């Protein structure tokens, strides 16, 4: 991958460092995922043997620049909704102990041009609420439940 | 306004109740604001004498269904960016002590159809970080700083 991991003390490099601290699992619930640097970090974790699971939005996963196809090709498990509404979450959970969530979609445009917030929370109560939501969505979007010809 | 406040124990009614607990101030930083029930709650607080300040995104404030014009007409102070990037935050701060933030844009579509999260945080450290960001944006978007003919 020609895209280097970000260096220095930018918001993006701090986000990448938090992700790369994962040792066992990374659960991602992302409306939109087109930022190459963040995809590279996720790919790297997968290669290190961290269990990566990714849930995304069906309408946005096929947009130009989406990294979802590349991550699937690398062997990362991806599931998506099959509804007309958006799967609009944008959070990550590192090792079931650190929640990273906010307004930021994982796109280059958002990182470079927008006013955004990202919260990093290790309080168990908040982490559990998001982990529970992740597990619900992960099961709900199991391909075994897809209805192609309703 | 013909639109009743929501009742019962829905996510929307819980959000409205948190907002209506404001006694002194409500600071809003909202990418998109088209939900009539939430606009009604904000309008009600303004009429009760709560100091409401609203920051929004210049590109989205004029979209169909936006409540920004109506709230301005009611006398609520509104400021907006003048950049090509989005003012993509979606948070509220009640009485400088309760932060409400997440993935949820304040639109009927998001509330009815999307998978979203809303965090309610009273931890002073988090509230201060968002309050500081609000004050920065409020000053940066002061109309005295608008450049109409750069």
Domain ranges for chain B? 25-144
| pLDDT at residue A128 is higher than 70 | yes
Q: Which residues contact B7 (CB under 8 A, 6 or more apart)?
A: B13
| Inter-chain residue contact B103 with A103, CB threshold 8 Å | yes
User: Six-digit token pair at B129?
Assistant: 């970080």
Q: How confident is the model at residue A21 (pLDDT cuts 50, 70, 90)?
A: very high
Q: Is A90 designated active site?
A: yes
ipTM at complex level: 0.91
pLDDT in tens, B5-30: 777 788 999 999 999 999 999 999 99
| Inter-chain residue contact B117 with A133, CB threshold 8 Å | yes
Quick check: A106 and A33 in contact, CB under 8 A?
yes
| Inter-chain residue contact A85 with B117, CB threshold 8 Å | no
3-state secondary structure of B82: coil
Q: Which residues pair with A133 in a beta bridge?
A: none
Looking at residue A149, its pLDDT comes to 64
Pairing, β B25-30 against β B51-56? parallel
Number of residues assigned to chain A: 150
Looking at residue A7, its pLDDT comes to 74
| Inter-chain residue contact A115 with B91, CB threshold 8 Å | no
A-chain residues near B110 (CB < 8 A):
86, 88
Q: Which residues pair with B72 in a beta bridge?
A: none
Reference B113, options B4, B12, B25, B38; nearest CA is: B12
Q: Chain B within 8 Å of A126 (Cβ-Cβ)?
A: yes
User: Which tops the pLDDT comparison, A138 or A63?
Assistant: A138
- CA-nearest residue to A55 within chain B is B115
Distance CA A28, CA A55 (A): 6
Nearest-CB residue to B116 (from A81, A88, A112): A88
The alpha-carbon gap from B85 to the nearest alpha carbon of chain A, in Å, equals 5
Count residue pairs from A and B with Cβ separation < 8 A. 74
Looking at residue A1, its pLDDT comes to 47
Q: In the predicted model, what is the mean pLDDT of residues A133-146?
A: 92
The alpha-carbon gap from B104 to the nearest alpha carbon of chain A, in Å, equals 8
- φ/ψ of B91, rounded to 5, equals -140, 160
Distance CA A52, CA A93 (A): 10
Least confident of B5-9, B17-21, B35-39, B106-110: B5-9
- Out of B43, B46, B89, B90, the active site residue is B90
Q: In the predicted model, what is the mean pLDDT of residues A133-138?
A: 97
Q: Chain B within 8 Å of A41 (Cβ-Cβ)?
A: no
Give the CATH class of A25-144: alpha beta
| Inter-chain residue contact A113 with B83, CB threshold 8 Å | yes
Please state the pTM of the whole predicted model: 0.92
């Amino acid at each position: 991958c020609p895209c280097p991991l970000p260096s220095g003390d930018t918001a993006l490099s701090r986000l990448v460092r938090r992700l790369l601290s994962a040792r066992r699992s990374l659960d991602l619930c992302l409306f939109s995922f087109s930022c190459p640097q963040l995809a590279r970090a996720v790919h790297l974790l997968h290669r290190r043997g961290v269990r990566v699971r990714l849930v995304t939005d069906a309408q946005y996963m096929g947009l130009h620049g989406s990294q979802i196809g590349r991550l699937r090709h690398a062997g990362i498990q991806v599931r998506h909704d099959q509804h007309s509404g958006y799967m609009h979450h944008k959070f990550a959970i590192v090792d079931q102990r650190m929640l990273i969530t906010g307004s930021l979609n994982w796109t280059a445009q958002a990182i470079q041009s927008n006013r955004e917030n990202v919260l990093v929370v290790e309080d168990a109560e908040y982490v559990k609420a998001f982990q529970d939501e992740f597990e619900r969505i992960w099961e709900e979007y199991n391909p075994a439940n897809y209805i192609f010809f309703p």
